[in-house]
């Protein structure tokens, strides 16, 4: 049946192109979401926790606490902001510099800024760590704005759920496209099928070439989808790199790896086989020699 596809290149290519576009849409969105997730992993402020220390905590004690926290597996880095430095920043950016001069002593505490590790960057893990931090004797207040982090992961979850729904609908469309193509092929070879059945050919024998056709169409569609996604990422890579440079970031788009590429081709072949199997099973049994 591969010869049949070669003998009708235009119709075969049109069918494979439709399958390729249907496969490229959800896979392209999945790759885009993976790249967005990669960007968020690179944000140092993704889950920044501020520990406001008690006023009686000395600089030496704050340094020891920072060293202790750096040993926690949940924490990637710790930055110490002395209360004098915090006061200078407040004077500079708050607009109340003159009012602060009237104070006899610095009212601001020293602060430890914590950056959780990537593996503990989920809202649930951060909230659990926040409870441990609040129990430290030197800590007066542990503060974290969890709202935008929860919104970020909520948007990510919705995105993945939308991709799954879109994948199911487009996979169903691929099955229907292949099934309709195989149905037309069966109708075009109706006389041949009747003759084969007259001389003792079984349904399994007749079914096999049509199944191969579905697999080849699915593989061709998967290959077209791989090319479309690759071209799209290539077209976006330069402007994305320029934008990343403006933010002093070395971020680059992640392309399809070998595992994902194989999954794409295997999915195309599997959907092609499913569509051809359903079509052959339904229409072949209806053809009987007179």
The domains of the chain are located at 2-42+150-283, 49-143
Q: What percent of the chain has pLDDT over 70?
A: 78
Instruction: Report the top-level CATH class of 49-143.
Output: alpha beta
Mean pLDDT score of the chain, rounded to an integer? 79
Q: What percent of the chain has pLDDT over 90?
A: 15
Task: Please give the average per-residue pLDDT across 95-105, as a whole number.
Answer: 57
Distances (CA, A) of 273 to 117, 225, 251, 276: 44, 17, 39, 5
Render pLDDT for 1-53 as a digit per residue (tens, 0 to 9).
555 566 667 777 888 899 999 999 998 888 888 887 776 655 544 567 888 88
Q: In which region does residue 248 sit, left (phi positive, over 0), alpha (psi from -120 to 50) or beta (all else)? A: left
Phi, psi of 116 (to 5 degrees): -65, 155
Instruction: Return the structure tokens found at 116.
Output: 């959780």
* Cα 271 from chain centroid (whole Å): 22
Beta bridge partners of 49: 114
Top-confidence residue, 96 or 208: 208
- Whether 225 has a pLDDT exceeding 80, the answer reads yes
Provide the pLDDT for residue 104: 59
DSSP state of 103: -
pLDDT band for position 224 (cuts 50, 70, 90): very high
**What pTM did the predictor assign?**
0.62
Contact (CB, 8 A) for 83 and 106: yes
Torsional sign, CA 227, 231, 232, 233: positive
């Amino acid at each position: 049946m591969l010869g049949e596809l070669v003998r009708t290149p235009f119709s075969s290519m049109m069918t494979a192109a439709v399958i390729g576009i249907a496969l490229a849409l959800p896979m392209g969105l999945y790759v885009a979401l993976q790249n967005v997730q990669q960007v968020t992993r690179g944000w140092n402020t993704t889950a920044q926790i501020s520990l406001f220390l008690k006023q009686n905590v000395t600089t030496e004690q704050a340094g020891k606490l920072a060293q202790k926290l750096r040993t926690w597996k949940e924490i990637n880095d710790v930055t110490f902001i002395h209360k004098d430095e915090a006061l200078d920043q407040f004077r500079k950016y708050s607009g109340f510099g003159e009012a602060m001069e009237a104070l006899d002593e610095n009212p601001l505490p020293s602060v430890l800024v914590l950056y959780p590790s990537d593996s503990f960057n989920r809202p649930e893990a951060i909230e659990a760590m926040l409870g441990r931090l609040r129990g430290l004797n030197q800590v007066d207040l542990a503060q974290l704005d969890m709202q935008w982090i929860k919104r970020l992961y909520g948007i990510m979850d919705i995105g993945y759920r939308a991709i799954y729904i879109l994948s199911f609908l487009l996979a169903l469309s691929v099955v229907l496209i292949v099934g309709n193509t195989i149905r037309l092929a069966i109708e075009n070879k109706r006389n041949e099928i009747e003759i084969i059945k007259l001389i003792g050919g079984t349904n399994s024998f007749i079914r096999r070439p049509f199944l191969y056709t579905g697999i080849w169409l699915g593989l061709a569609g998967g290959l077209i989808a791989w090319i479309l996604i690759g071209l799209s990422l290539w077209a976006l890579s330069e402007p994305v790199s320029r934008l990343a440079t403006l933010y002093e970031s070395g971020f680059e788009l992640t392309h399809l790896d070998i595992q994902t590429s194989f999954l794409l081709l295997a999915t195309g072949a599997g959907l092609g086989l499913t569509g051809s199997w359903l079509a052959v099973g339904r229409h072949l049994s209806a053809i009987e020699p007179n």
